Amino acid sequence: MGQPLGKFAELSGKVAVITGAGRKDGLGEAMARRLAIEGVKVVLTDIGQPSGENLPQSAIGTTEEMEQIAMEIRATGGEVATFTCNVLEPQDVQSAAEFALGHFGGLDIWINNAGIGYLMEPVVDMAVDKWDAVLGVNLRGAFLGTKYAAEIMQRQGRGGRIINIGSQASKSGFPHAAAYTASKHGLIGLTRSAAIELGPDKITVNTICPNHVTTGLGAWQNAHFSDVTGKGHERYMEDMRARIPLGRPGLQEDIAKACAFLCSDEAAYITGEAMNVSGGEEYH
């Protein structure tokens, strides 16, 4: 039985790479599932193994978990492959792009989703190596993905889509999140400059800026900030819902829908944008 048709028929047969797509219930998984419904051939990438000490389990996209996601997508008729990739390593990122080209015959969509969102400390307490780790994965990784994806898209000569996964922290500051906020603000600068450079090649570059989404990592963040603020989990979540006009945090599917739209022909004249998907919480 084939994959059910999605909303954007023109996406059928396109090829996408998604970084940081090896965690169950993560944004990468949700985007992969949605694009597969649209008929996109998807390459999931993640680091495949722990890369540091004392990481929350929700921060690690293991090879086994990535393969499980791929197997589930295949079971519904989707075409998907996996590739282990550390976005800090230029050779890994370039190899992921070339893998998509060799395995599926092209590269049309690149989604810079890999990120660190668990190193949260006051700026005066933030160790330099932790700052470098956040800026490295969140910003250097997106630069490398943009660079190597764009090179292939330019060679192909048929345009393409590069989508960066930013955050509400791409627009606003938050306590205990200076490194994260700096990296996500920087992502908008990368998006805008790359959009200008790549526009003549019909390659659009956009950023999606979610508010809080309770992924596995999001649940860790909820617990961390409930403790830091002294509010407790119930009060912390209650306050979060109260400041969102639509009355709830984001869902993985909200981001996946925005991603599918930006990949589609409906968004062909949209580039250099940082699109809020925040239930009205962030509006600039």
Structure confidence at residue 57 (pLDDT): 53
DSSP 165: E
Structure confidence at residue 168 (pLDDT): 95
**CB burial of residue 238 (10 Å; 0-12, 13-18, 19+):** exposed
Nearest Cα to Cα of residue 101 among 41, 33, 19:
41
Cβ–Cβ < 8 Å for 63, 48: yes
Taking residue 118's Cβ as centre, other Cβ atoms within 10 Å add up to: 16
* CA 32 vs CA 28, 72, 80, 164, 178: distances in Å: 6, 11, 9, 14, 30
Helix ranges (H only) for 168-251 are 178-198, 216-229, 233-242
Structure confidence at residue 5 (pLDDT): 63
Q: Which domains does the chain have, with CATH numbers?
A: 9-277 (3.40.50.720)
DSSP 26: S
Structure confidence at residue 144 (pLDDT): 98
Cβ–Cβ < 8 Å for 82, 137: no
Nearest Cα to Cα of residue 195 among 252, 77, 274:
274
Structure confidence at residue 53 (pLDDT): 46
Nearest Cα to Cα of residue 252 among 58, 25, 23:
25
Per-residue pLDDT of the chain (284 residues; tens, 9 = 90+): 345 568 999 999 999 999 999 999 999 999 999 999 999 999 999 998 754 445 555 566 789 999 999 999 999 999 999 999 999 999 999 999 999 999 999 999 999 999 998 899 999 999 999 999 999 999 999 999 999 999 999 999 999 999 999 999 999 999 999 999 999 999 999 999 999 999 999 999 999 999 989 776 777 677 877 877 888 888 888 989 999 999 999 999 999 999 999 999 999 999 999 999 999 999 98
Structure confidence at residue 220 (pLDDT): 66
- Give catalytic residues, as residue numbers: 180, 184
Structure confidence at residue 228 (pLDDT): 79
